[in-house]
Amino acid sequence: MPVTPCFDPTTGSSGGVPPAVSASLYNLPMTEVDLTDGSWTLLDPDALVDTVSFAGGFNTITFNAGGATSNQRWTGTTTCTAPRWYKTLQIDGNTVTLLDPMWFVCRMQNNLLVDDFNQQNIFGTMADPTSTDTNVMGLAGGTWLRSVLANTGYGVITGNANTTFADPDTVFSHAAVMQGGGANGAATYIQYDGTNTAERAGSRNTNILAMAGTNRHLAVGVGINTDVTVINAGDQVSFSLKYIALQFAGL
Amino acid sequence: MAHLLVDQSAVTVQNIDSTDGTGAPFSEEGFVIPVVIPLSEMGTYLDPAFYDPAVSASPTAADSRKIARVVLDALKKAAEEP
């Protein structure tokens, strides 16, 4: 015959020890990215960024003249001087290290009304966002790219390579990366139409293990998507970003 | 010849911005076909008697055809799926 606890030995209340209750993981709110809120540091070796503004959920970047160099791309090169905003990843005031098991999840939406040059942008985590060596950065996350007058391609970027798809009906996309133990796991994405119906999905292995460094950082980066793309002074990109980072105990 | 496998359920159409085996960057939209080469078969594939990059006629036509057919069959199957 099973023994049924009658009292909680700590509180004396009837019914035995109550089960542990954690915060609900249902309907978790995502954090909106506002690059003007003072929490982000800009690294811009080529002085490409002129101004940044935030309105209606969209960050708008206005550029100085530049481009026409592979260094201002996020893919196809190991030297990347493209501008990026970064900060140490913290959850409830706790700094997340590269060793912590976690998930990074983000939502990306390109502003289709702004279409000045062939762009590629990123939102993810990095081991070292101050480096211009893609092998040191340890980038993994979401990406979106658009050539002028073309559909926006959404997907994921790992290291200096990406997997995307440009679907004409896609309005926004979300991406996720599993991380921990000093590594980036695979990155995956789903893109959606205006009714939240999936239009396309994909994934990419990172092959990024044993990253150097201590803490994990959030990073938002902008750049060009071909080696010959020219940015004229006053050109803009505009996008809305949200994210959530989950860190686990007890693995 | 050693056997080669394709993970057919993982074949997708994507745009890839990456670098090829020579380190050259490329950007291409196409079928991404995962090819599985069993580790137990690596010795066969890496044996110069099977494949010597310095010899233009290597691997043999028969072996080349077997390898090509694995990839092409996967492409054909993926392309014909609704």
Write down the domain spans for chain A: 31-247
CA-CA distance, B22 to A53, in Å (whole number)?
41
Q: What is the pTM for the complete model shown?
A: 0.90
A87 vs A15, residue with greater confidence? A87
Identify the sign of the CA torsion A30, A35, A39, A42: positive
Per-residue pLDDT of A51-107, as tens digits, reads 999 999 999 999 999 999 999 999 988 999 999 999 999 999 999 999 999 999 999
Residue B3 DSSP one-character state: -
Average pLDDT of the residues of chain A? 93
> Residue A226: closest CA among chain B residues belongs to which residue?
B27
**Structural tokens at position A206:** 């990172």
CB atoms within 10 A of CB B28: 10
- Give, for all 82 residues of chain B, the pLDDT tens digit: 568 999 999 999 999 999 999 999 999 999 999 999 999 999 999 999 999 999 999 999 999 999 999 999 999 999 998 6
Mean pLDDT of A10-17: 62
Specify the pLDDT at position A6: 58
CA-CA distance, B21 to B30, in Å (whole number)?
17
DSSP for A138-154 reads --EEEEEEE-TTSPPEE
Would you put residue A97 in left (φ > 0), alpha (ψ -120 to 50) or beta? beta
Specify the pLDDT at position A205: 93
Nearest to A161 among B12, B18, B32 (CB): B18
Per-residue pLDDT of A108-143, as tens digits, reads 999 999 999 999 999 999 999 999 999 999 999 999
The CATH number for A31-247, chosen from 1.10.1040.10, 2.60.120.200, 3.30.70.100, 1.10.10.10, is 2.60.120.200
**Structural tokens at position B51:** 């494949």
pLDDT band at A32 (very low <50, low <70, confident <90, very high): very high
Beta carbons of B17 and A76 less than 8 Å apart:
yes
CA-CA distance, A110 to A183, in Å (whole number)?
28
Which of A1-5, A36-40, B37-41 shows the lowest mean pLDDT across its residues? A1-5
Nearest CA-CA distance, residue A109 and chain B, Å: 18
pLDDT band at A186 (very low <50, low <70, confident <90, very high): very high
Question: Is the pLDDT reported for residue A8 higher than 80?
Answer: no
Question: Rounded to whole angstroms, what are the CA distances from A64 to A15, A49, A151?
Answer: 68, 6, 25
**Structural tokens at position B39:** 């580790």
Beta carbons of B15 and A76 less than 8 Å apart:
no
Name the 3-class secondary structure at B76. Answer: helix
Q: Does B15 touch chain A (CB under 8 A)?
A: yes
Question: Is the pLDDT reported for residue A217 higher than 90?
Answer: yes
> Residue A204: closest CA among chain B residues belongs to which residue?
B16
Its ipTM equals 0.87
Specify the pLDDT at position B3: 81
Name the 3-class secondary structure at A240. Answer: strand
Beta carbons of B14 and A163 less than 8 Å apart:
yes
